[in-house]
Chains A and B, each alone.
Chain A
């Protein structure tokens, strides 16, 4: 006979920090409540920009413990919150006013949405009597942000602020993370209400699946044990689940080689013998060859994005598919799964490890190794003749030793970095994957540096993307952030130019882009600028930048028409890679 458990009913007496029982909760304004909620969520830094509808909130801010970072554009506030969240694993917070402030956040929220990054955005709204009247600086931001947020709210009463913000943070960080927007009218910020931060939240209709079904786990394990040429596709989900360590144990036990999506880089350190490198449109030759050859593909925490898969009909044509994802809607969305495993990547891996056999797969790994592009690898060994983009990326890697946070903008430099920066720690590789947001580099570096001040931070940007967000240099200077900005300057919007080069018969339409003297620009903003024109100047410049405290702008002049290779032509399958001149077909290829 089992004894009845004693159930102790929880009483709902609120206790204040000094331990005394509060009979009466404090009466605060909506703005003060908002600040108190953020503090209660452990927020220390918010990124934002003031304006009319949030004047009450900014009035309360100096009385809070929150550090406010003044971005120079609301989009950068959102992207800083995104970069902060990726670097720290905590929820990033941004604030903007109504109307244009709120609409400027949208691209940043879409970026966080597509890459599953936990962000909470607080926007001011016009006072309630003005809503729907086309008032000054009024936009329907809950309507506008609907498709690019995990959820959003328009708060109607000051009493609703606390439980709404509690739920917003819970939604942002739980399950598949994402951005959540809370829109608060100006008069709700001003009105008073008792403040009592709820201890619990949750909705019956929101139950993220964390622990996978054991039956599916066993089916997956059996399939893994039976495979002769298995391959693991590692996605962002492993890093979001903070599952890198469990993943390493799983990989070492199964002996399965690992390929990475753009956001999965670093799920296993790239120095690990089983880490094969980037897959997809600009994936390594041997990686895409392995995809073609494998008989089992184990996708852990990736959503089969088109840039990773290439033409779906040609994707992993010989493979059965195991798909581990926390979001059931991802199963079967793009690629049918033979064995779906729905759950948190770390939980799924923990359950899988005891179920799978210890394997080596030496022959299969040797086969993959044989598919490497030897000519490129030989060129990369031979330092003085490195082509510039590789030299810059590899020198940063060498100087920082894989320990720095690397953020990137979007374009050719991003792909060169993804191929060759050698990511050791997934959460220190910060790049805009799903949305491909130009301008992301500098703001994400600002957010990351504020979140992880003890780490060296580099952002690799192109001259195009940097010109979108270079006004954020002011924020970096104001916040005294030690960030190194490597501009890979080819005088072109290089990725579009590359497409025009390869697929539009060199019709270079509107891709030539001039820019300021970046060295003088750096000086104008009060930071150091260095211009690098020759290969032998690269490493000394990088070392100098590392020794300078504060933002440093390094302008690397590269060959204007350098292309990123290999490349899968748009609409092509991953096996139809185009290689540049650093490629020698083997007998097998001919």
Chain B
């Protein structure tokens, strides 16, 4: 079944690690909707959020192939778990005297913040899940969007720990020490 999956990939923070991940996804023809990278709570580990569209078996392959990269410590598929998804958007909207009040009212509905204002524009910041951001942008479009930037998705499981059923398991990862 074709589904959107959100994978959280914990990687060792080494030079070139993002290149390794992106190169792997490209050469194995996996389709990625978005990828974000940032620090995690653990020093030395970066957290990558990947949004992958594909059959369940294909997404499982993405996880298994990622595990073959030396820097990849853990891959978790958040789909099917209770998880919170967020994106952020910065948008510069045309807002002259006659429309400014209306723009600000709509911004208020979406809890968007005003970051900057000029006599003819407003810069707004909004966060939310993908649908909310899309809806916010649709509302802003009629006023005239001068500039827009949208981050990829970040995500976190609701439970205290990421649940084991979301884990794409390294099958039998019995520890094995080098000689």
Q: Does B60 contact A (CB under 8 A)?
A: yes
Shortest B29–chain A CB gap in Å is 13
Q: Could you pull out 18 A-B pairs where Cβ atoms are within 8 angstroms?
A: A146-B20, A174-B178, A201-B178, A203-B70, A204-B73, A205-B71, A205-B72, A207-B170, A207-B176, A208-B176, A209-B170, A210-B174, A327-B68, A328-B170, A328-B172, A329-B67, A331-B171, A332-B57
Q: Chain B nearest CB: distance from A133 CB in Å?
A: 18
- Complex contact A143–B19 (CB within 8 A): yes
- B54 CB to closest chain A CB, in angstroms? 14
Which chain B residues border A208 with CB–CB below 8 Å? 176
User: Given known contacts A142-B16, A205-B70, A329-B65, is B172 in contact with A211 (CB within 8 Å)?
Assistant: yes
Q: Which residues of chain A from 199 to 242 have a CB within 8 Å of any chain B CB?
A: 200-213
A 335-375 binary contact with B (CB < 8 Å = 1; else 0): 01000101100000000000000000000000000000000
Cβ of A248 under 8 Å from chain B? no
- Determine the chain B residues whose CB is within 8 A of the CB of A211 once the complex forms: 172, 174
A333 within 8 A of B: yes
Interface residues of B in 1-35 (CB under 8 A from A): 12, 15-16, 19-20, 23-24, 27
Q: A138-165: contact bitstring with B at CB < 8 Å (1 yes, 0 no)?
A: 0000110011000100100000000000
A-B contacts at CB below 8 angstroms, number: 71
Chain B window 29-63, contacts with chain A (Cβ cutoff 8 Å), 1 for yes, 0 for no = 00000000000000000000000000001001100
Q: Which of B12, B73, B172 contacts A342 (CB 8 A)?
A: B172
Chain A interface mostly helix, strand, loop or mixed? Answer: loop
In the complex, are the beta carbons of A205 and B12 less than 8 A apart? Answer: yes
Chain A contacts for B67, CB-based, 8 A:
328-329
Kindly identify, within residues 68 to 90 of chain B, every residue whose CB is under 8 Å from any CB belonging to chain A: 68, 70-73
Q: How far is the CA of A174 from the CA of B70 in the complex (A)?
A: 13
CA distance A332 to B58 in the complex (A): 10
Q: Does A256 contact B (CB under 8 A)?
A: no
Report B-chain residues with C-beta under 8 Å of the C-beta of A340: 171
**In the complex, A174→B12 CA distance in Å?**
20
> Number of residues in B with C-beta < 8 Å to the partner?
28
Q: How far is the CB of B122 from chain A (nearest CB, A)?
A: 41
User: B177 within 8 Å of A by Cβ?
Assistant: yes
Considering the complex, give the chain A residue whose CB is closest to the CB of B168. Answer: A328
A159-208 CB contacts (< 8 Å) to partner B: 170-171, 174, 200-208
Contacts of B12 in A (CB 8 A): 203, 205
Residues of chain B within 8 A of A147, CB atoms compared: 23-24, 27
Bound state CA distance, A329 and B176, in angstroms?
Answer: 18
> Which A residues lie within 8 Å of B72 (CB)?
205
Having A147-B23, A208-B176, A331-B171, one finds 9 other A-B pairs with CB under 8 Å, namely A154-B16, A170-B178, A203-B12, A205-B12, A207-B176, A209-B174, A210-B174, A210-B176, A328-B64
In the complex, the answer to whether A333 meets B171 with C-beta atoms within 8 Å is no
Interface residues on A, range: 20 to 34
Question: Could you list which residues of chain A lie within 8 angstroms of chain B, going by C-beta atoms?
Answer: 142-143, 146-147, 151, 154, 170-171, 174, 200-213, 327-329, 331-333, 336, 340, 342-343
B164 CB to nearest A CB, Å = 16
A residues less than 8 Å from B61 (CB atoms): 329, 332-333
The reply to whether A146 and B173 contact each other, CB–CB distance below 8 Å, is no
Task: Report Cα–Cα, A517/B62, bound state, in Å.
Answer: 52
Partner pick for A202 among B65, B171, B172, B177, CB 8 A cutoff: B177
- With both beta carbons as reference points, the residue of chain B lying nearest to A174 in the complex is identified as B178
Query: What is the CA–CA distance of A201 and B176 in the complex, to the nearest angstrom?
Result: 11
Task: Kindly report which residue of chain A lies nearest to residue B27, judged by CB atoms.
Answer: A147
Considering the complex of A and B, which 9 residue pairs feature the smallest CB-CB distances, nearest first?
A: A329-B64, A342-B171, A209-B172, A202-B178, A328-B171, A205-B73, A201-B178, A170-B178, A207-B173
By beta carbon, the residue of chain A nearest B170 is: A328
User: Which residues 113-136 of B have a CB within 8 angstroms of A?
Assistant: none
Q: What is the bound-complex CA distance between A583 and B63, given in angstroms? A: 47
Min Cβ gap A388→B in Å is 42
Q: Which residues of B contact A154 (CB under 8 A)?
A: 15-16
Task: With a 10 A CB-CB cut-off, give which of A204, A205, A327 has the most chain B CB atoms.
Answer: A205
Contact of B175 with A by CB under 8 A: yes
B175 neighbours in A (Cβ, 8 Å): 207
B57 & A212 in contact (Cβ 8 Å cutoff): no
Please name all residues of chain A whose beta carbon is closer than 8 Å to the beta carbon of B178 when the two chains form the complex.
Answer: 170, 174, 200-202
How many Å lie between the Cα of A146 and that of B172 in the bound state? 26
| B24 contact set on A, CB distance < 8 A | 147
Provide the residues of chain A in CB contact with B16, threshold 8 Å: 142, 154
Least CB distance, B99 to chain A, in whole angstroms:
49
Given the complex, which residues of A lie within 8 Å of B174, measured CB to CB? 207, 209-211
- The listed residue (B23, B57, B172) touching A213 by CB distance below 8 A is B172
Q: Which residues of B contact A210 (CB under 8 A)?
A: 174, 176
Contact residues in A for B172 (Cβ distance below 8 Å): 209, 211-213, 328, 342-343
Query: What residues of chain B lie closer than 8 Å to A209, measured between beta carbons?
Result: 170-174, 176
Cβ-defined contact, A146 with B68, below 8 A = no
